[in-house]
Structure 1
Amino acid sequence: MYRNLSEFIARLEREGELVRIGAAVSPAYEIAEITDRMCKSPDGGKALLFENTGTGFPVLTNMMGSPRRMAAALGAESLEAVGARIRALLDDARAPKDSLRERLRLLPLLAEAGRWLPRAGTRRGACQQVVLRGDEASLGRLPVLRCWPCDGGPFVTLPMVHTVDPETGVRNVGMYRMQVFDDRTTGMHWHIHKTGARHFDAYRRLGRRMPVAVALGGDPVYAYAATAPMPDDMDEYLLAGFLRRRPVRLVRCLTNGMYVPADCDFVIEGYVDPAEEPAEEGPFGDHTGFYSLQDLYPRFHVTAITHRRDAVWPATLVGVPPMEDARIAEATERIFLEPIRAAVLPEAEDLWMPASGVAHNLAVVAMRRRYAGQAHKAAQALWGAGQMMFNKYLLLAPAGCDVRDTECLAALVRRADPVRMLIRGEGVADVLDHATATPGFGGKAALDLTSVDPAGPEPVLPSPAAFVQAGGIVAMRAEYLTRWGVAALFAPRGGRVDVGDCLRRNGLERVPYAVLFDAEARSLPDGSDLLWLAAANSDPRRDLQLVGGTLLIDARSKRPGVEGHPSRFPNVVCSHPETIRKVDSRWTEYGLGEMLPSPSERYRGLLLSEEAAW
C-alpha cells in the first residue's frame, strides 16, 4: 500500500488519473466549482491537485472519484477483487471444522488477522514534523474549502475524527464534517445515531472533557475506513490493516494522548467540553444534493496542529449526485455484502445503492426466496441492520437478477403489482433526510419483486398520443411509461392536485406508478435526476399513496409547516452565477482541456429561494 498520501498521488499521476493545476485558485468556492464539473464528467474525470491555494498547502480533490481510483485507494485492481478477498476470508472462517487437522488450519488465518491490528509506537511520526501550538495553531493557515454559496462557513470535509469510549477504551474513527467558526474552534457534526455522539454522551455523564484528534491524509485507505459501516465497537484501523495488508502504525498526540496514524498529513488536536453550550452549525451543501440546515452541535477546541513538511490537504465535495461519495458507496457495497449475508440476510445475493439514491434513500437487493413473506422478513432485517437502518426505499429482486442491469430491473418493475407487492414501514431515518417532518424518524417502503418473472408476459401499458392537462397537473413526460411503467407528472409548486382525475382524463388508470414533481423539474434531461428528486423529496409515510391501482409518490417541494410537512424545506445545492462565470473565464488557465459546463446550471430552476431553505 502507500506510505503516505504523496505516494498515492504519484501513482495516480503515473497512470494518467491526476491533473496538477498550477494556476492560483481560491479555497472559497472556486475549487469546489472546478471539482463539481470534474466529478460529473464521464467516469468521474480525474483527481485534481491544486498546487497554488494561497496557503502554502496544495489541495487534493476527487481522489477516489472513479472506480479505478477507488480500487487503487484500497490497494486492489478492482472493487470486485476486494469483495472476493472478504468472501474468501469469511468462507474459510465459517467452513465446518470436523477434525483437529481442519481446526489447526485456522491458525494461519488467526495469525494473519493478528498482523492487521494497529500498532502504537513511541517515536514521533511524519505527521508531527511541524508542530504548531498556541496562537500558531490557527485553522486560518489551512486551505479549508468553502463549497456552496449558502454554507455557514468553511468546512473540513474529509476529516478522520478520533474518539475513545471512556468506559471501554475502544477507539472510533468517523468522518464528521467540521465547520470552522474561527481560528481555534469548529463545529463537530455528530449525528445522534453515530458512535462519536455516543462517546460524547458518555463523557457528559462522567462530567469530563472529551479528547478528540482529527487526522487528514496519509494512506487513502484510512479515509475509506472512517466512512465504512463498521460494528460499533470494532476499530476502523483493523479494517484498514486488512485492506492494506499491514498494520496501521499509530503515534501519540502531543496535547491530549489520542493516537493517530503516523503517516497522515495533518493532525488537529483538541477537545470537546460536554458542559459547554452547543453552537449553531450549518447550513451545509450536503451529499443529499440539498442543504442540511442549521442545528446545534458541540464545539471542538484546537490545542495543537501538526503536519508533514510536504503536507497535502485532502478534501471532498458533496452535492447533487453523482459525486466522489458515490464511488465510496460502491466500495462499501462490495466489501460489506458478505458480512451482511453472514450476520443479517443469508438469502442476499447482491446489493446495489444507485448514486441517485445518495446511499441511504434507495437500495436494490437480489435475494433467494423460498417461502411466502420472506421479502417482508428481508426488508425488516435490513431496516434494522447498521447503517442500512437509514434506507428509505428498497427494491427486493429475485435471485439471478443483475441488480446493476437497469434493463432487468425495468422488466421487473413494470410487471409488478404495486398494490399487492408494496411493503410499508416506519423507522430510523438519516438526520439529513429533509422530507420527514420528524427528524431522524420517517416512513419506509419496499417493493417485493421476488416472485416477478422478468421474462413473463409484457403488461399492456397505455401510451397517450397527447397529454391533457387535468387535476392541476400541467405536464407529463411519457418516456418512462413503456420501459418502467412510470408516469412522471408535473404540477405548480404548492398547488392542489387531483392525480386520479389526471390519470382518468389521460387513460392512464392502468399505469402502475406515478411520480409527481414540481413543474420546474420537467426541464431536467436525465432520468437519474428525477429518480434522485423522487427519493429525496418524499417521505413514504406521508407522500406514498395508492390512487386506484397506481402507486403515487409526491416528490414536490413541501411548503414548510403545512399539512404535516417539515418546518423547514431546504434548497438544492447550486453554485453562485458569479462563481460559474469566474471559472468559465479562467478555464484555459487550469489546463483541464475542453470546457466542462457547470452542473449547477441544470439545477438552478429547482431553487425555491436565494437562501438555504424555503
Structure 2
Amino acid sequence: MGYKNTRECLDALEARGELVRIDASVDANVEIGAIQRRVFQAGGPALLFNHVKGCRFPMAANIFGTRDRMHFIFRDTIDMVERLMKLKMNPMELLKRPWKYIGAPLTGYNTMPKRVSSGPIMENETSVSSLPQLVSWPMDGGGYVTLPQVYTEEPDNPGFAGSNMGMYRVQLSGNDYVPDEEIGLHYQIHRGIGHHHAQALHKGEPLKVNVFVGGPPAMTLAAVMPLPEGLAEIFFAGAMAGHRISMVKRDGGLPVPAQADFCICGTIVEGVQKPEGPFGDHLGYYSLAHDFPVLKVDKVYHRDDAIWPFTTVGRPPQEDTMFGQFIHELTADLVPSVFAGVHEVHAVDAAGVHPLLLAVGSERYVPYAEERQPQELLTNALGLLGNTQTSLSKYVLIAAREDMASGSSCHDIPGFFRHMLERVDLTRDLHFITRTTIDTLDYSGISLNQGSKLIFAAAGSVKRELGTELPSGIDLPRGFRDPQVFAPGILVIKGPKHRRKRDQQDPALDRIGDMLNTVRGIEKFPMIVVADDAGFTARDWDNFLWVAFTRSDPATDIYGVGGFTHAKHWGADKAIVVDARLKTYHAPPLDPDPEVEKRVDALGAKGGPLYGII
C-alpha cells in the first residue's frame, strides 16, 4: 500500500538511505531553495530541514528528485495504473491477458475518496504568517507554496466528481496582501480552476478553495497530472496511493484530506485582484507581477507532526522535470487514443516544456502520391494544439512516421532535428497561428497570454544535405558576428542588443537575411539562430533549446533567407532566421545570489551535512 502521509514517506526514504537530515539553521529566504537545487543537480537525496529560521515547522525537499525515488514511492501501484491506462487504449487486453488485471477492481475501488468525520489535519489551527515563507529566488515577491494541491469543486456540480485539484502558484506574503487575511492565487490559462471560477462569477457567488500541502505523495502527483477534462484528480490520487483518500467534510466548506500536513481554506471573492509575483519560474526567468485573484483566508489547519514539503523551480532540469518524465512513462501509450494519428509526443523540458513540442504522426491522406507531403500531419498538429496541455505549445515540430527509421524517436532530439531539417520544405511547410493564446509564463509574445504558434511539418524524402562546416564568404551586417555551426544544418550567430518595442519586428534581422541570401552554401543551413551569446547558445543542446525557443515568438521573431509572403502564406527559399535574443520586454533570467551560494558551499565542505553530496 502507498504512503498515507509525508512522514511515512520520509521515514521509508530514510530507511533506504535516501534522506539526509539538516540540523543546521537555514533560512527559507533564498538559502533553502539554493540548497535544494544544488542537491537535485547532484542527484542527491531527499532533505529534511529541522531548523528553519523564524519558523517552527520543518521543511522537506527533493522528495521526488530522482527517477528511482519516484518509482520507489509509487512502487506498489505504478504497474497496475500503467496497465489500466493501456486497457483504456485497448479494452481487448482484458480478454487476452486477464491475469495482468487481477488487481484492477481494487484499484478502481481505491479511486473513490472516503468521507471521514475527522483526521490528523484537524488537530491544530495556525495563521498564514506562521507557515514557512519560502522565497526561492532573490527577486521573488514574497513567500510561496511551491507544492500546493489547490482544490475546488464545480459550483454547478459540487462533489468529488466535479472537483479539480491543480498545482497553481500560491503567494503567502508580500506585495499588497493583508497579512494573515489574504493570499495570492496565480492560475494560468487552460486550467481546470478557471472553469469553476467562471461558474462562480456567473452565479455571483464566491468560489471556495482549499490549498492542501503534504499528505499522501499521490496527491502531489495528481495535482500535476494532465488529466482529461471531467476526470477528477482526486480519483487518480487514490489509484496511485493504493488506498482510498480519506477526506474530512467541513460544515459549509470543502473537504480536507485527513492526512494532509497543512490546509488553507478560503474563498475567491468576485472583483478582487491584486498584483502577484514576481516569481522565479520553470522557464528559467522571472514571471513578473500581474493582477491575479485573491484568496480570502478563512482557516489554516495543520497536523501535530506537520512537515512542509517544497520544491523550487528554475531553468530546467529541476525537480519538476522528474514529474514530467514520470507522467510521460504513465501516459505514453495513451497518446494515439487521445490524438488520432499521433504516435509520439515530447514536450521538451530543456526548452521549458510548453515552448517546444516534438511529435511523430501518420501521413496517410494520399498514399498513392509520388511524393509525400504534410497533410494528415497538419491535422495531427492542429489536434495537438486543440486539446489538453499540448494546446499551450508554441513551436510544434512534427514528422511523418512513414519516413522515420526503425527505432528512431522524437526523444532523440539531435536525430529528430536532423530528420526534420533534411526534409522540410521551407516554402510550404511552415504554418503560423498569430494573435492567439500562449502560456502565461512565456514573455516572448505580444502581451500577457498572447502571441503566436508555429507548426513546422516535414514529410517525404530528403530534400537537402545539411552543412557541417561554416560556409566561406559569410558577410554579416554591423553588430552581427561570431557565426558557428551548432549541429548539422544549424548556425548560431551573435547579434547586437535588442532595442525594439514589443510587437515590432527588427529590420536588422531582415538585413541579415538579405546578406546571407548571397552566401554560397547557406541553403545547407535551413535553421539560423541569432542570440546574444553565440558561444553559450552553441555549447550544448540544453543551451540551444532554452535560448532558441524560450526567447522567440514565431510570428514576431522568425525571418527568412529568401523570405516571401504569398496569399498570406509566409515561407523562405533557403533558411529561417530565428531572433532568439533577449528582448527589451522579456522578463529577466534567474541568477543565483553569490553570497547565498557561498553558504551552500559551506554545507558541502568537509564536516558539513552535505559533504560528499554537492
User: TM-score under structure 1 normalisation?
Assistant: 0.85
**Per-residue deviation, 1:378:** 0.5
Q: Which residue of structure 2 lines up, in the alignment, with residue 607 of structure 1? A: none
Partner secondary structure for residue 188 of structure 1: strand
Letter in structure 1 aligned against 2:15: R
Q: Which residue of structure 1 lines up, in the alignment, with residue 569 of structure 2? A: none
1:309 has 2:313 as partner: no
Which of 362, 367, 384 pairs up with 2:361?
367
Which of 87, 90, 100 pairs up with 2:88?
90
Question: CA contact under 8 A between 2:476 and 2:512: conserved in structure 1?
Answer: no
Matches within 5 A, 1:214-253: 214-253=211-250
Q: Which residue of structure 2 lines up, in the alignment, with residue 612 of structure 1? A: none
Matches within 5 A, 1:154-553: 154-169=143-158, 170-181=162-173, 182-253=179-250, 256-275=252-271, 277-345=272-340, 347-372=341-366, 373-399=375-401, 400=406, 401-419=408-426, 420-426=428-434, 427-451=436-460, 459-464=466-471, 470-478=477-485, 480-482=486-488, 485-494=489-498, 496-497=508-509, 498-500=511-513, 503=516, 507=520, 509-510=522-523, 511-519=525-533, 522=536, 525-548=539-562, 549-553=574-578
Deviation per CA, 1:50-87, whole angstroms, max 9, x where unpaired? Answer: 2211322221112212211222343369x7x5774244
Question: CA contact under 8 A between 1:423 and 1:446: conserved in structure 2?
Answer: yes
Q: Output the CA distance in 1 between the equivalents of 2:560 and 2:21.
A: 53
Change (3 A) 1:316 1:239: same
Question: CA contact under 8 A between 2:356 and 2:393: conserved in structure 1?
Answer: yes
**Per-residue deviation, 1:250:** 1.2
Partner secondary structure for residue 270 of structure 2: coil
Deviation per CA, 1:122-159, whole angstroms, max 9, x where unpaired? Answer: 32112223x21xxxx31222113111111111111111
Q: Higher mean Cα deviation, 178-187 or 20-29?
A: 178-187
Q: Output the CA distance in 1 between the equivalents of 2:443 and 2:80.
A: 34
Change (3 A) 1:467 1:458: closer
Partner secondary structure for residue 273 of structure 1: strand
1:584 has 2:601 as partner: yes
**Per-residue deviation, 1:176:** 0.9
Q: Output the CA distance in 1 between the equivalents of 2:144 and 2:355.
A: 24
**Per-residue deviation, 1:500:** 2.5
Question: CA contact under 8 A between 1:117 and 1:241: conserved in structure 2?
Answer: yes
Deviation per CA, 1:452-483, whole angstroms, max 9, x where unpaired? Answer: 56xx98545543479765453121232x243x
Q: Higher mean Cα deviation, 414-423 or 22-31?
A: 414-423
Change (3 A) 1:348 1:179: same
Deviation per CA, 1:276-322, whole angstroms, max 9, x where unpaired? Answer: x2111111111111111111112112222222221110111111111
**Per-residue deviation, 1:361:** 1.1
Question: CA contact under 8 A between 1:86 and 1:335: conserved in structure 2?
Answer: no
Q: Which residue of structure 1 lines up, in the alignment, with residue 134 of structure 2? A: 145
Question: CA contact under 8 A between 2:335 and 2:343: conserved in structure 1?
Answer: no
Q: Which residue of structure 2 lines up, in the alignment, with residue 9 of structure 1? A: 10
Question: CA contact under 8 A between 1:120 and 1:259: conserved in structure 2?
Answer: no
Partner secondary structure for residue 350 of structure 1: strand
Gaps spanning 5+ residues in structure 2: where? 174-178, 367-374, 500-507, 563-573
Change (3 A) 1:411 1:278: closer
**Per-residue deviation, 1:556:** 0.9
Identity among equivalent pairs (%) = 28
Query: How many pairs are equivalent?
Result: 566
Q: Higher mean Cα deviation, 167-176 or 436-445?
A: 436-445
Deviation per CA, 1:192-219, whole angstroms, max 9, x where unpaired? Answer: 4322122222222222232211111112
Change (3 A) 1:493 1:120: same
RMSD: 3.0
Question: CA contact under 8 A between 1:490 and 1:522: conserved in structure 2?
Answer: no
Matches within 5 A, 1:550-561: 550-560=575-585
**Per-residue deviation, 1:371:** 2.6
1:35 has 2:17 as partner: no
Deviation per CA, 1:212-260, whole angstroms, max 9, x where unpaired? Answer: 1111111211111111112232210111122233322211246x52112
**Per-residue deviation, 1:264:** 1.5
Change (3 A) 1:410 1:29: same
Change (3 A) 1:291 1:341: same
Question: CA contact under 8 A between 1:357 and 1:363: conserved in structure 2?
Answer: no
**Per-residue deviation, 1:411:** 3.6
Partner secondary structure for residue 530 of structure 1: helix
User: TM-score under structure 2 normalisation?
Assistant: 0.85
**Per-residue deviation, 1:33:** 1.0
Letter in structure 2 aligned against 1:535: F
**Per-residue deviation, 1:584:** 2.8
Change (3 A) 1:61 1:520: farther
Change (3 A) 1:91 1:458: same
Change (3 A) 1:571 1:337: same
Q: Higher mean Cα deviation, 363-372 or 158-167?
A: 363-372
Q: Output the CA distance in 2 between the equivalents of 1:225 and 1:595.
A: 30
Change (3 A) 1:152 1:407: closer
Question: CA contact under 8 A between 1:75 and 1:243: conserved in structure 2?
Answer: no
**Per-residue deviation, 1:118:** 2.6
Change (3 A) 1:579 1:240: same
Q: Output the CA distance in 2 between the equivalents of 1:21 and 1:184.
A: 32
Which of 587, 593, 607 pairs up with 1:570?
587
Question: CA contact under 8 A between 1:412 and 1:452: conserved in structure 2?
Answer: no
Change (3 A) 1:590 1:227: farther
Q: Output the CA distance in 2 between the equivalents of 1:375 and 1:174.
A: 31
Change (3 A) 1:207 1:34: same
Letter in structure 2 aligned against 1:191: Q
Deviation per CA, 1:388-429, whole angstroms, max 9, x where unpaired? Answer: 110011222343422222353244134233504333334431
Question: CA contact under 8 A between 2:190 and 2:389: conserved in structure 1?
Answer: no
Change (3 A) 1:18 1:467: farther
Q: Higher mean Cα deviation, 347-356 or 222-231?
A: 347-356
Deviation per CA, 1:8-57, whole angstroms, max 9, x where unpaired? Answer: 2223233333322221101000011111222333xx43322222113222
